[in-house]
Structure 1
């Protein structure tokens, strides 16, 4: 087989690797600039092109090359190979054979020494490459700074960024880029990062962060969510009609049926007592409770011992009494990871309507 020169490139595992030296036991020492690491590969795997991932490295231009491009590449490769094998031919003869200038012939010889085949001689298209940036690095840095400083708040627009770029470039003694250039740099930034700069992390996460897992339950009572919410109503004094406060609701929602299994209303802030009352209300039948409210004509057959109960990391949800009671009654407590409010998605989707109906369904001072 042909000898392998140092720097010859190969595809290994979908990555570009370069031959460095011979290793022990018929292996080659390969180096990847992308990964900045070495590995040993069997020589047979480099030569046999029938094995997956062992072909010679092919430039990205191959995908867009025409038949004429391939013909020209094959011609240049074979001409250069003949010139190298001859050994004593002049560069002028090579340049004449390639129909190129002598400096260009020297450049192709350099490419040939590290090439792996005709694919390395695919002719690139003239002109500015797609994605190439022509303005200086200092101006690029000013544009990045202007985006970070001015792309904030609900009134953010491209004009404010362009104006700030002009101010900074004037102070730095640099030529101001066109407004279209600044707009192009903004469009190259991901929408999630722009939303984070403009509206903050929470809005950006809610709008763009992936939610790969599903919050599901296979049957009733298998999983429920519990949380607190201020009810959208105001309690007023019976005599003066002056506003007093908004009541708190602790609500337990079954994930499978989206039914409110239990709740507790109070003018006091959430506590371990309100949590215990809500769980008790969700667990036991509600016939006596409805009779106490003179609502015997209403049927509410939703109750039972919960298997899993999900909640956030509030202090009242991590009390020692709640944990002991859960262990005694075989209820598994599931705590939401910090900083991920969407884990309580079912509760947030239902709780506002539920709280409004709860308050019209009964008065806060009747709940026991």
Structure 2
């Protein structure tokens, strides 16, 4: 026996297979020391008052199930009828209340009182299964209304009380919170898309390395998750969509627990917490100036997320002191995406024409807003594509409408803390005008330089000029032999310029020479002398003499060459 080895009573009972509480074990020990083996005998059996039989217990359980949401009194009335019909003794009312309290399991009470749906939510068996082996393998997403009141500005400058909502994304393997989006309206497809964009892109803080594209994305079965925009985005990013069954939060317990932790640990710190003395909307409206704005709550949640990711999480390991950030960094599988593609997929878009004051966009309440950047000055009149977050219109992304290539980020004008003002627009426009004037001057100088560069060198020009003059002299000599003896001769002497030579060539052309009696003198002119026979052509060339038209063309070509060389 274990007692013979000097083991304790507790160890001895465990080794003997006795399942009892520590108090019962010590009570049995004292009874054995006081009365021996007889002290361990149930005295109710010795006195003829044995425990309630199994038949009565079965009747009591049946009576309890027959009275859904019934109190102990109604159950006891049904039990008495059943015991009378079965011919057994009716137990006491106190026994029935103890039986209901201690012997009926809690999950059976939930099924009887609230139904199977509530039983699945509260009492269904939970099986811990490691559904992801590395970080960024499986993300879970869910949204919930936050238990806090916020204040939002109206167009007339007053404040109104609003109900915020949150959309959260968590990495299942590392339990790292990838992103939390906060909105002042019911979550829709765009809130899911914007939160996914925030989770994928690198974070502003260097202490938050969480980014990348997951392999799978688990989410609810609501219409905001089933929308075409979300489905198309996940497909283009090669993310497998996993939809949970209807009303089955246990299929994504990690993100459910994250939202509950944020509700219980963060929100009670701020004014307007709903569960603090059950603050209603009317009560919050009386202290509206003390409530947080949506921007302040977003900043507080971002700080809380950084602390959450650097705190030990029991869901990772109860023994090892791992934080979600450490486990994510050690097991992440990098899978990046181009920010431009992500912006095209996950931001709202609209086309606008660039004006002298930038681009205009109408806000949700119908208020017009202007966005400007220095890069838009040279895009005046161009149709551009605006990519923007409807919940944060402090700036918009501007891209080329035809190619989709990014141009700049334009910032909103006319608000407190605006990055640019009207004087920035004036300075940019003046600088653009000066730049265009300088470009015109540089283009003119470039054309002049190019024209000078295209001219021939002086040596080559001399060679070409001598060659053409020699060719022209030979052709002129051939032409002289074909002219009448009393017609003007071509003079190709050293004293004549090339222009004079061309003039003589043209005057020697019979097709261009004036006809007899066609000058201003008319018939009063002196009779022309009779023509003599032409001289024989010299035999220095075997080719025939060029016609007068070809001589004129060569003369024109030489004239153009001379004008080109002289720059006129």
TM-score, with length taken from structure 1: 0.49
Larger Rg: 2
Q: What is the TM-score normalised by the length of structure 2?
A: 0.33
